[in-house]
Amino acid sequence: MPIDILMPALSPTMEEGKLAKWLKAEGDAIKAGDILAEIETDKATMEVEAVDEGILAKILVADGTENVAVNTPIGVIAADGEDVKAAASGGAKPAAVAEKPAEPEAKAEKASAEAPAATTAPSVPAQAKSYDASSEFPAGAEVVTMTVREALRDAMAEEMRRDGDVFVMGEEVAEYQGAYKVTQGLLQEFGPKRVIDTPITEHGFAGIGVGAALTGLRPIVEFMTFNFAMQAIDQIINSAAKTLYMSGGQMGCPIVFRGPNGAAARVAAQHSHDYAAWYSNVPGLKVVMPYSASDAKGLLKSAIRDPNPIIFLENEILYGRTFEVPKGDDFLIPIGKAKVVRPGTDVTIVSFGIGMTYALGAAEALAKEGIEAEVIDLRTIRPMDIETVIASVQKTNRCVAVEEGFPQSGVTAEIGMRIMEAAFDYLDAPVARVTGKDVPMPYAHNLEKLALPNVGEVIAAAKAVCYRA
């Protein structure tokens, strides 16, 4: 009995494709596993593999034929011992299939209406809704230009004036005005009982901060670098993050752990680690990593008011960058909401913290080449506003995720997986990642530069998912 070769589907949503070329001719012997032909869609190219043995008796659809529907017979195989001519004449009739008139529209509609509801469930997720960050700046508010460092200081000062339970502690936060001058002026305004210099013992003063939070105070614990917070990780994870759950909701821990995170400039491996992925793995913590001064201020104020332990990751390189910030003591940004920083239609670029410098730089360069990238700043890593990302991917059908952290188990790995789970059918290309290299941070300037992501890598990734050279 003749065996029909059917047009295969590249994906569950594929309906038709192009038969690019035949790799076998009529009369050729066929073995299981032989490549018979190549088919194409706008997303991919795939080889048609034989699953039966025999002779290719007839080619029903010629090379270069477009819009071939899935499951259309494209060829006929004569089984071993079968007459090839008989098989060729007895196989499927492609012309009849291709030219068969469609069912009347009314009849099709009736069949659809009578079908059970379960069969009409969509195979793709409903349209996600993007968070609108435009309302975060108060209407008509006066804006000032300030550095990220100044925005963080103002956030702490305003919250300390607002709530007497808020205090700051850490190494060099008082007399020295902060290792990076983020706490400059706070000692003079609030005194040594609320701006407290600590010994070089992260495990000790982090534990004091957690204990104070469990009794109802609102400490802000500064780490000179989050690399040193590894000394205090037991207090952060086992005490701060888990106590609310383990106490049955009876003991909250309203504390903010803040300080510079990730690479700076030639401070080597022990001072350059990015801990965003580490802390975002822990239930009970919220993890915030702002880029701009306005986000740094609004998110830090929200973090200080939040009843949960917050990991607030800053970046030493960004401290001196200037941005516009609205005036006012009640400027808050909600934790857990991403921000579309630059709208676009061709590819989504997602990042956070200093990774935004690469994302925005790449978007500007891509625009000059006719590729409009939509840039999303996550701002909060946990809880992650994946809905805003999905809404963008549903529009652009492509995504590049960017971070300075390592690729293994990184934040971008989480982003990619969440997109695959929620928006796979919208993707026209695999999600691409641009990350720091999988190596401890070198000290030498030239090697450090090679270990970090760069704008060129983001541009190359965006072009790759857009299938542009």
Catalogue the active-site residues: 202, 271
CA 288 remoteness from chain centre: 14
Q: Could you tell me the CA-to-CA distances from 5 to 23, 86, 245, 435, 462 in Å, in that order?
A: 14, 16, 59, 44, 37
**Short-list 194, 301, 191, 199, CA closest to 256:** 301
Identify whether the C-beta of residue 235 lies closer than 8 Å to the C-beta of residue 288. Answer: no
The amino acid sitting at 71 is N
- The vertex-356 CA angle with 355 and 362, nearest 5°, equals 100
User: DSSP 3-state assignment of 466?
Assistant: coil
How do beta strands 373-377 and 339-342 pair?
antiparallel
User: DSSP 3-state assignment of 395?
Assistant: helix
Q: Could you give the CA distance from residue 103 to residue 72 in angstroms, rounded to a whole number?
A: 17
123: left (phi over 0), alpha (psi -120 to 50) or beta: alpha
Question: Whose structure tokens read 């065996």?
Answer: 3
**Short-list 388, 342, 378, CA closest to 362:** 342
**Short-list 289, 169, 167, CA closest to 224:** 169
Q: Could you give the CA distance from residue 252 to residue 250 in angstroms, rounded to a whole number?
A: 7
**In this structure, what DSSP letter does residue 272 have?**
-
**In this structure, what DSSP letter does residue 128 have?**
P
User: DSSP 3-state assignment of 457?
Assistant: helix
Three-state SS letters, 187-236: HHHHCCCCEEECCCCHHHHHHHHHHHHHCCCEEEEECCCCCHHHHHHHHH
Identify whether the C-beta of residue 61 lies closer than 8 Å to the C-beta of residue 47. Answer: no
**Short-list 326, 313, 248, 249, CA closest to 286:** 313
> How crowded is residue 412: how many other Cβ atoms within 10 Å of its Cβ?
25
